[in-house]
Structure 1
Amino acid sequence: MYKKLMSKKFFEDNPYMENSVQRFIYSTLLYEELEDLANEITIKQGLLSDERLEHITREKELIQSEQNPEEIFQLLRKKTEMINRRLLVKKALAFEEVILPMVVDKLMRSYHDIFIENSIELLAKSNKNYSSLLMEKYTEIRSPYVQSLVCLILGFRGEEKIIPWMVDRFYEMKKLYPDESYDQGPLLALHELNSRFYGK
C-alpha cells in the first residue's frame, strides 16, 4: 500500500550510517545471537579478570533470585555487566505485565541511557505489542534520542499503516537535528518495515 514511499531511490538518497547507536541497537535486535556469541567469546578467551568474573557471577545470582518487580525495575536503571544484560531483560519480561507499564511511563521523561536502552529491548521483545501506545505517547517523549529509538521499535512491531508517519518522522528529525544521528531511528525502522511488508 505504501511501497512507493519507500522506493529504491528513497533509500539510495538516504543511506543509513554504518556507525551509529541506532544501527548498533538495530543489529542486536535483528541478530540476537550476536550478543550471546560475543559474551561467550569474552568468557572463553579469558578476557576478564578473576575479580570481574566474580562480580559477574554475583550479579547474575542477584538477577536470577530477584522476584520483586519493583526491584527488577530499579535494576533496569543501574549499570549492569554486558554479559548479564540479556539475563536482566529476560527477568523483566517474566514480570512484564507489572514492569512494562512502569517502563513506558518512565521512558517518556528519561534521559538515562542505560534505562533507555534496556527499555527499548524490553519493548521490542515483550509479549504484548506496545506500538499503539508508543505512537499515542510519542509527542510526550522529552528526549529526541528516545524518540529515535521508539521509532526503531515501531519498525519491528508497528503495522503497515504507520509507514507514512514514519517517513514524516525521518524528515522531521533530519531537519531538526542535522548534526545528530536521531534520524537513523526512523530510517532503519523504514528499512525494517520495508522488509516486513514488502519483502525487501
Structure 2
Amino acid sequence: MKTGAPSADSTVSTASIAFGKSLSDRVSVFGGAEYSNVDQHATSKFATANQNDGHSASYRIGVSGTVFSRINLFAEGRIATFNPMETRFVADTTAHRMSVANKNKAETATAGFAIPLSDWGRLNASIAGTNTKYPNTEVTSQMIRRDSRQRTRVGMQVNGTLLSPHLSAMTIDFSGSITRNDSNIRQYDYKRSDASLLVNYRLAD
C-alpha cells in the first residue's frame, strides 16, 4: 500500500563554524556556531507546512578531558533560537498565529564519557537536558508553552578487524537512546526510544 510522503519537501541552508584548542595534555575546549534557514514547500497535502518556515541560530561551547589515563569526559552547553517567518502571513490570521507560536529559545546541557575496551573498541554514554521557552501564546491551548526534555544515550563501538583476517578495517557502532519531553501543554508530551546499528568495513587486498 502506497502511503505517500510523510512530510512536506523542504530546502534547508546551513552555515557553521567550529573551533578547538588544547589547554594541556589532558584538557581541551571546543565550540562553534551554526545558522540555518528552513523553507518548507506547502502543497495540497501539506497546506500548512510553510507555517514552520524560519531561521535558527545555535552556539555551543564545551570542555573535554582525560582522567585515569584512559577515560574521556566531556561537558557542553548550547543555546539555540528559532525565529519564524510570520511576516509571510496576514496579521491576526490563524496561519500567522501558528507561525508566531513556533518562536523559541532552547538551552541544553550535556555531559558524557567514553571508555576504551582494550583492543575491542569503546563504550560511551551521555545525558542531556534541554529547557525550551516559547514567548508567544500557543494557538490551540492559548497558553505560553514551556518544555523540558531529557535524553539518555548509550553506545558501543567495536573493532571488527578482530573478527576476521580478511578485513583491513571495520567498525560496528551500536547506540540506543531514550528521549522524554515534558510540556506544560499536554499535547506536546512524548517519550521516544531509538536504536541504530552502523557497520563500516574495508576488505583486505
TM-score by length of 2: 0.22
Q: Who wins on radius of gyration, i.e. which is larger?
A: 2
Structure 1 or 2: larger helix share? Answer: 1
Structure 1 or 2: larger strand share? Answer: 2
TM-score by length of 1: 0.23
